[in-house]
Every structure is written in C-alpha cells, then in structure tokens.
Structure 1
C-alpha cells in the first residue's frame, strides 16, 4: 500500500536517504536502443550534472549516485530545516539559480537584481522557498522535470518520461548509509556493464577513484557535492574504496570471496556482520524496503507510520552485529 511521502520523509530532522527514479518509456533513458540503434548515452551526463548542480542549491549533500540505463540512484544527506539558517538574500539567490528564466542572461542584470530584492523582501515567498529548498520532493522534481522536457524535445514526443512517484528509503544510521552507498556504487558491476570501478561511468565511485590523491585517501568519506554543515562519515576514503573494490570483485568471482584481513576491522567499527556483508550488498534491492537501520530505529520508524512491521527486519538482523 502506498504511503504518503510526508510520512516516509522526515520534514523536521536531518538524515540519510536512498532515492530512485525510473523511466516509464519503452526506450531507454540512456544507452543504445536495440531497435533503432540510436544512442542516448549523453543523457547520463545530463543527469549527473544536474544532481551535482542542485546539491549546491538545495539543503543536501550527495554521497553516492549511479545513473543507469533506465533509472538512477541517489544517496543523500538532507537537512530540511537547513534553509532556516540562510539569510533572506541567500534564499532568494538560490531560488533564482534554480529558476533563472531569462534573468540568467547578462543583459537582464538589473532585472535580476530587482527580482532578487523583491523575493528577499517578501516574507510569504521566503517562507515558501525555504520549505522547498529543504524538500526532497522538490529536489527530485527539479532533477527530473528539465531532463524529461529535454528528452521529450529530443525525441519529438510528449507525455510522461519518469514514473510519477520516486522511491525513497530512509537510512537510519551511517552504517546503513555506507551499505547503501556500496550497493549504489556497484550497480554497473552487478549489471555486468563493467568489472572495474574506474570504468563505472556516471557513478560516484568512478568520481572518487578518478579524483583521489594521496591527501584525500587519508581523509574520511565526505560528500561529493553540497555542504549542509560540517559532516563526514566515520570511514576513511581509502578503506571505503578498498571495501567497494573487494565487494565488486567478489560479486564477479564469488568463489574467491574471502575478506582481506586488513578490511575486517571496518566491519567491527560499523557494527556490521562481515559474514553477511556480501549477500546484503548484492541483494540489497530485494532485502530492504522503506527503511534500513538498527532494529530500535526501525521500530521507531514503524511507530511513526503506525505500522507493526517494516519489510527487511530479518535482513537487518543479518546485517548488524548488534541490532540494539
């Protein structure tokens, strides 16, 4: 049964979320259409660029993404009340970046400044825009609408391009977020598109691997775009990349799936059962539904939904060393 988005996404507290949006048309969102031979690969760059661009406008941080042939995944940290800390002018400026219209043309510089001041002096508009700039639903709308219009124009068609309802999954602690990040980053490998992280096009792991330096390897995992507040993961970037690399190779070669000794302490720190890690990441999409996290947080999530049960509890018991 469908549940209201307002119940699935906390509008008062910051947290991690896994978001998925799927294309509805027979033709692929990206890739090559087998029937026509037309390539739509360039659309993947559109989506990747749009995601990273909006992270600088909305109150979010992007931790992981994968743009596949007919859908995309996002792992974000969202602070819905973050815009309340922004000045009136900052809210107005971000809104005009989001919907510039013709005002992004340098010849309309004066008109843009007048519009900026008009928004900054309108308390009703400011309240509405603060709410929207902290909203995940508005984020997904602003990713999808321009891509749909651009793709429809390119295909000379009208109508829906995306499913009307995107999928959202609450990630209730950093261990859940890191598990989901690994699942998202390994989408191209699980799909058999490539067997190398650096060749996993239009993914966050490719971006991390290709831009890493000796300095960044020694830092903890940080967001790829956006800055809600001073926030980092507990895991060093080097450890995360090695863990994803090993997990990907183990998916390709399951007969060689022995966890390297130097990676084992990672699981202890994250309270994750290393014996079930590979199965949980490989079958993440089937194992979990609306929320992932320790059982006590899952129970609180279910209570908020007025539900006695949330799908994935048995998988939660296998994922965590301790679920309390």
Structure 2
C-alpha cells in the first residue's frame, strides 16, 4: 500500500467520554480503511479511545504505521515482520525496520511470532523461528516490548506452535533485565488453552483479548479469560478483522473495542468503566506511550 493512501491528518477528540479506552492492536494502515480512515480514528477518539497501536507486518506496513502515528496524537506504532510475511524479510528490509524502531512513537516490536495455521512446511516453520529469534534479540537491543502472534495448525487450542513459541520466549526472557524483563510483551489475540496462558503469565507476558470473546460459542475462551488476572489483560480489536458482537460480519474498527471491554467486565464481575481503566493502565505500563 502506498503511503499517500493513508489520509494523514491531525485528529481532535470532541468532548471527552466518560471512559478512557485503549486498542492495543489495530491495522489502520490496511486498505479496507482507505475510504474513511480519518473518520474511523475520529470515531475511536469520540468513543473514548485515548491510545491506538498499529503494528507492522513487514517493512512497508511498518513505515505506514509510523506515518500514521506521526500525524495522529492518539496513534502509536509497532514495527516488525509477521510470520506469514517473511517473503518480505531480507537483510536490507530488516535494516529499514530497525531504523524505524528508533522513532519516538514506535513503542514495540511487532507483529512478530509463529503461525502454523497458514504455514505447513517444516522448512518455512524453521525460518519463522529463526526470524522470530532475530527480532526478539533486536527488541532486547532497543529495550522495547514485543507484540507476539501465535496461531496453531487447524486453530487448535494447543500444539506445536505453542510449544515452540514458549520455548523461544522462555530462552529470550532469561536474558532480559530491568523493565523489559518485568514487561516483555503481549501475546496478541490469545487463543491458547489455560496451561499456555499460565506459562505466558509466568514469563510476565500480557494477554491480548479480541472480539471472539463475545461470540456465542466462546464459552471455553470466556472460562479461560475468567482465570487471567486483570492486571495482565489488554484489549484489542485486530481491526479490520475479528469484529465483536454486535458487529460480527462487518469490518471491525477501534471504536468497537468497548464491546470487548463490556464482555470482560461481565466475565470478571466488574463494571465496564473498571475494565476500561484497568486495561488502559496495563497498556500504559507495557508500552510507555512515548515516555
């Protein structure tokens, strides 16, 4: 996507809503937002979103994410190579992403990780693991947390992707110190079982919760989320994907994050305002938002 399609502008929220929310994962650079990106961000601000994080998928989308962040006070960026976009990964493009990572509005390295759903070949899976290790090492060098993608083959609750990812993260975490050791990153759109969640929490990772928590058939997911400490939960839309009820089947957008907050409030027997406050504070601790 060309950067000149990003509709760069400065956005000003109207009268502040009663709740302050954060969407810690939304792909606002995606082409589905080309017709009305400005309005999407404005709706998010008007709904109460004070921070939005746009992760990169490769060097071009990372650049677009940074450009969006430069022009919008509520938008921040993460930069990196998604495991299904590694055809884009070369020494030259990795250097471009490394350069972007030093931008003051880049708060994380991501979206990086392991995907065994789309990638079946063992050789390509091995490449995913090696590129992930290189990006984790770079995150350590620049002292920024990571946004981790993990998807199992056949969308299983657990499997080789979980095992491989946790082994890599555990080894990486053992070499960290200071703030990054305390807050190394987030497992984006967490879809694992309780054991995987507990192992990730033991490594000090946050877990990102997305729209499927609102789906009628998601009882097992809600049961797992009910056992995750609130101080380790982030809320995400993954826009334009994974729209929550009542917008399922539509293009997702950051303003819909409030439906995820409402469902987590129901699960944990809290008010939506409490969940908004807690998850916004969690995101501020993890990403520092330019501090």
Normalising by structure 2, what TM-score? Answer: 0.32
Higher strand share: 2
Higher helix share: 1
Larger radius of gyration: 1
1 or 2 for the larger relative contact order (CA 8 Å, sep ≥6)?
1
Normalising by structure 1, what TM-score? Answer: 0.30
